Amino acid sequence: MIGGGSAGYHAASTASSAGLRVGLIESAERFGGLCILRGCMPTKTLLRSAEIAQLVRESDQLGIRSSSPRVDWPAVRQRKDELVEEFASYRQVSAEKLANVEIICGRAEFLGPDSIEVGGQVLNAPKFAVTTGSEIAIPPLPGLEDVGYIDSDEAQTLDRLPESLLVIGGGAVALEFAQLFLRLGVAVTVVQRSAHVLSGMDSAIGIALAGYLEREGMTVVTETDILGFERAPDGRKQVRVNTPSGERTFAAQEILIALGRRPATRGLGLDRAGVDTDRGWILVNTRMQTSNPNIYAAGDCIGPEVGPLQVVHTAVQQGQIIGNNVAERKPQEFDLRVVPQAVFTDPSVGVVGLSEVEARDRHSSVIVAQETFEDQGKALTMGQNKGLVKMVADGVTGELLGVHVLGPEAADLIHEAVVAMHYRATVDDFARIPHLHPTLAEIMVDPAEELAEMLAMPAPAR
């Protein structure tokens, strides 16, 4: 297993439990991979602090009088660092306890289809798995290197908060950091190339979320074409962009580039191993095999048919599939149809399945229903009634094709839709499931009932 992150660890654990001897190779100084060290866990820790600050600001709405919160950024960062150390240490100890697993430190490089070199040592094995993850991608934008910038790793280790921040990008990472810094007292402007933020998701989600972020005080600029970066006369960093209304300039003390990631596969010698790639992404089938059937791959380094999704639960599942398949148990395959995604903004996002546009491209008949949180009982009691639920279903069979949630606890609410879609439930099945009152989850029933009624109606006369 080349790479000790989420995919590699779970591949090693599954294979070792089947009695295989496993070498788990890690090139980084610390164990744990992106999720533990620089991704999921540290960023969600920081976001929690920012959420508390915002709850204090809004507490008057619930009858709780308080003064404005005072943000202690060093203390916020220290809490994050302590938790990361705890998570990383736990993963290290867990890996060391795996039976039949030897942890090997160093960078691996394929010498051929059945051998690698690690730190001058040649290792041979009948099967390999590449789980090296991804790294931050910085595109060659005019003037960017001259003015300087930070990326999502560096944003977590700043000594002090900037007064203002330009966020270039409108995906999950960009928006989470944008709202984090906004709620910690930084003036934030988001510059996005596409027509709406979260362009890879259903447009209803991105458009609504941008509106909520703007109401909170963020500037969101979409449909832009970056012309270049330069220093403003006052010393701030600025970006010039083309927009539908003409050329505009935005300036801030710091720039955060959040324009995606690329596979961490350079220098692995994959060509010598007979492994096909596409712009560095490793091509795999649903059993996670590469073009060399004895070499597997999983996690952030694969794509495009089975990835790149770049979410840890996918890496975990794919790693477990590899562990099972290399042990030559009953073959398992990765099902791309049911892969949940989340964005931990406020309101948060939880998504599974097809967007409305994707569904209409793939199915001859599609029905759609949408419900907002504005009048949802539990959301109103919480003072958290921003957002919506959108359901997409097959217009003939009623099978759920996609569920899109923007609202309080959306990343948790989406799980019942994941289970329903796993079992290919229809909207009628979903609508018949009892939901506790008063709960946020009740809102999921409303669009399901609306879709079920649509299916029960006779087709309009031609």
Q: Is 335 helix (H, G, I), strand (E, B) or coil?
A: coil
Q: Is 437 a catalytic residue?
A: yes
Q: 196 vs 191, 289, 349, CA distance in Å?
A: 10, 36, 15
Q: 71 vs 4, 51, 75, 96, CA distance in Å?
A: 35, 12, 9, 39
Q: Work out the widest C-alpha separation in the chain, in whole angstroms.
A: 75
Separation of alpha carbons 166 and 251, rounded Å: 7
Count of alpha carbons within 13 angstroms of residue 237, beta-carbon side: 23
Q: 270 vs 130, 280, 326, CA distance in Å?
A: 10, 10, 19
Separation of alpha carbons 404 and 140, rounded Å: 34
Q: Which two tokens stand for residue 30?
A: 């610390």
Separation of alpha carbons 300 and 310, rounded Å: 5
Beta bridge partners of 366: 394
Residues 6+ apart with CB under 8 A from 291: 274, 275, 276, 283
Q: 395 vs 235, 357, 417, 418, 459, CA distance in Å?
A: 57, 14, 18, 20, 11
Separation of alpha carbons 129 and 37, rounded Å: 22
Ordered DSSP codes for 210-254: HHHHHHTT-EEE-S-EEEEEEE-TTS-EEEEEEETTEEEEEEESE
Q: Are 392 and 359 a contacting pair, CB within 8 Å? A: yes
Q: Are 403 and 389 a contacting pair, CB within 8 Å? A: yes
218-221 own/partner pairs: CB under 8 Å, 24+ apart: 218/178, 218/179, 218/182, 218/188, 218/189, 218/190, 219/188, 219/189, 219/190, 219/250, 220/170, 220/189, 220/190, 220/192, 221/189, 221/190, 221/191, 221/192, 221/248, 221/250
What DSSP element (H or E) covers 357? helix 356-362
Separation of alpha carbons 112 and 133, rounded Å: 21
To 10 degrees, the CA torsion angle through 283, 285, 288, 290?
-50
Q: Are 131 and 2 a contacting pair, CB within 8 Å? A: yes
Catalytic residues: 437
